[in-house]
A and B are shown apart, each in its own frame.
Chain A
Amino acid sequence: MANIVTSFCCVVLAAVVVVYAQRRSQQGARIQYERIGSDVTMQCGSLDNDASVTWKVNGTDVKARRREEGPRLILMEVNMSSNGLYSCFQNPDGQRRDQINLRVGIPPKEPQVTCRSNTYPKGFYCSWHLQHPTYIPTDFEVDVQHNQRPLEVTRDEVHKNRCHVKFPELFSSFPYRVNVTAVNSLGRASSAISFEESSIVKPDPPEKVVAKPVANNARRLEVTWNSPSTWPDVETFPLKYFLRYRPLIRDQWQHVELSDSTSHTITDAYAGKEYIIQLAAKDMEIGTWSDWSVAVHATPWMEEPKPITSTTESDIIPETTPGPPSAAPRVGEPTAACSTLLWSTHLLLACVLLSIM
């Protein structure tokens, strides 16, 4: 009984020791950031210049182009494959003296910054990104100035490359200046943009767009929507809307501009055709149009097709009837056929008249 307990304790202890040792070995490593393409010097601890060490990377021998000078390892023209955990062992006792985690990357280039206000008049947000990856951790510093005064910047919790600023005042004639600096161990780069309050206002697209057919009217579609939920005060800062619609079969859009209204009835829809409808929003006076909302599909109301009654003439009629009654889109065809017939008879008459003359 006692044996089982002691052996169990020993196992647990051993596991703890192993885990601790492993973690310790990793913690001991320091990180070294170096530029791609450069020659990298790694120093083994604080050994003398005449010390002799053996280097290993990730537990295996170092195969890259290198030079070894005493306690230093010099790698030539490093690239991404040079990344790794380098350990140096002192000769002849083989004790590990140091560990270096080598990470190669590039210094940052100027970030690209854009700002937008979708919550006018509350505030605006700025987002930035680097066109080229740096491969090593890079931080960003943001500062916003207005009328020679710095403004408070709140970093976004979710989006790493975004910050929020409240408008200090409205209707300002002074531009805002946003400066974003990208910093990493290899260097820094910054870019600044300047803009007026009115030019960055761009609401989010309208929400909950619903398009419904209108009963007993084959050419109407009723569209309703909500103002974007991010727009804080649509009463005091009303939005105007742009509605566009087209039948699926056509490429050209039809447009309607609406002020301060969240519903509209399309009255010139082609009977029986499926429509695609989208909406955009804009502040009444300033800024730019939002992106298009999610597209909504709808088909106008159609009359219930009358059932065909079978008669003796049913053998002759099939040529003229347009086909099975359930094929609703074909309702338009007979009318098209009639119009072409009329047109051709007119042409024939005209030709006859001309020939007489």
Chain B
Amino acid sequence: MKMHRWKVDQVAVLLLLLAAVGFAQVLDRTLVLSHERSSIERTYELTKYLDHQLKEIRDTYLSYLGPPFSDPGFSPPRPNSSSLSVPSAATRVDLWRGLENGARLAQNQRAYSILLCAVRELARSTLCPYLQSSLMHFCSGLSGLLGSISGLMNALGYTSLPPSTPAQGYAPLLSSQFQNSPAPLRSYEPRGVREGTTRADLKRGRRGRKKEGESWAAREEREKEEGMERWGKRRRLLSVDEENILKLNMNYTALKFGKQPVLFSPASLQHRRAIRSTHAGLSPLSLLYQYGGSAAEVHTLLAAPVLSSRPASNDFSRKVEGFWVLRELQSWLWRSAKDFTRLKKRLRV
């Protein structure tokens, strides 16, 4: 009789313990999510703030560029080289809706890292000191946004540009590119959460290696370098680099060009933009250029009279590029606001 009662007590205690553990886990998850939600909210507010700032800066910048850029409603044709260096925010509705949280954040992260460098370069080449300081100030805000996104990705356990998701279309290219590209690009390890590092340590021993001891300034510097690499590589797309040809040669066989017939005309490059979105905003083409693709190799694949050996870096084309950098940045800020709204809703579930 006594034994039986003792067993019942044991079971009861066990059940209670299990319940407590389960409850703790749920609580932990809720707390984690609420922290992320507030982080998303802050990032959302930041995009709205930057959007507001950008409107003013853009107006000033366009009048600095002078006519025809300063004419209302002016939209210059998007030159091929520029269109490939600045990531497009445009995407099909159904694809955008279906993006997984990690992919959504990764796209934002990638876009802003490139745009940040583009705007910095814009600022550097601006002759008007007031405009230059406005742009630099804006860059610091943009950099904060980038940091916020990266932090969010880490907190949610997403790695930056994960190589293992084939759905994103560019992943296989990335992993093979790594080994061969001459200069190290962004390291795809998850970085430490900026504001949440200490909290993260306390709250959970989650996965995601953190670059411990790395100060915020050092990280920003490193980010800047990496972003500049990517931006620089994109700008250098048209310079022939024989060394790269040999190294990247074997990687081009991995490119699934067979999927889409690569017709070639300026108009069709615009068409490619539509197909870009089928690969969640990225296409093999853009990555080709991103990672310092040699023009020669591209020529054999694309048979292109359009790509010259050097970009025409005259004044007008630089102005057009500047126009598009700011225009695309504006689209990205609108898109990010909607991205974060969606993230907020999805995390609520």
Interface residues of A (CB under 8 A from B): 121-122, 147-149, 167-175, 194, 198, 235-238, 284-286
Contact = CB atoms under 8 A, between A and B. Distances in A.
Q: Summarize B's interface: helix, strand, loop or mixed.
A: helix
A128 B117 CA distance: 44
A172 B334 CA distance: 10
A148 B91 CA distance: 17
Interface stretch (B118-126, B213-221, B308-316, B323-331): B323-331
Nearest to B337: A285
Contacts of A167: 93
A235 B331 contact: no
Q: Summarize A's interface: helix, strand, loop or mixed.
A: loop
Given A147-B270, A236-B97, A169 B92 contact: yes
Contacts of B91: 169-171
A161 to B, nearest CB: 24
B92 A285 contact: no
A175 B75 contact: yes
Contacts of B271: 149
Interface residues of B, number: 32
B341 interface: yes
Contacts of A147: 270, 273
Contacts of B332: 171
Contacts of B78: 174
B334 A286 contact: yes
B274 A168 contact: yes
Given A149-B271, A167-B93, 16 more contacts: A148-B267, A169-B90, A169-B93, A170-B91, A171-B90, A171-B335, A173-B88, A173-B324, A173-B330, A173-B331, A194-B73, A194-B75, A235-B345, A285-B48, A285-B51, A285-B338
B96 interface: yes
Given A121-B93, A236-B97, A285-B51, A171 B334 contact: yes
B338 A237 contact: yes
Contacts of B89: 171-173
B342 interface: yes
A174 B75 contact: yes
Pairs A-B, 10 closest by C-beta atoms: A171-B335, A171-B89, A172-B90, A169-B90, A173-B331, A285-B337, A173-B327, A171-B331, A121-B93, A175-B75
A218 to B, nearest CB: 37
Contact of A284 (B97, B331, B341): B341
A175 B76 CA distance: 10
Interface in B243-274: 267, 270-271, 273-274
Nearest to A147: B270
Contact of B90 (A173, A194, A198, A236): A173
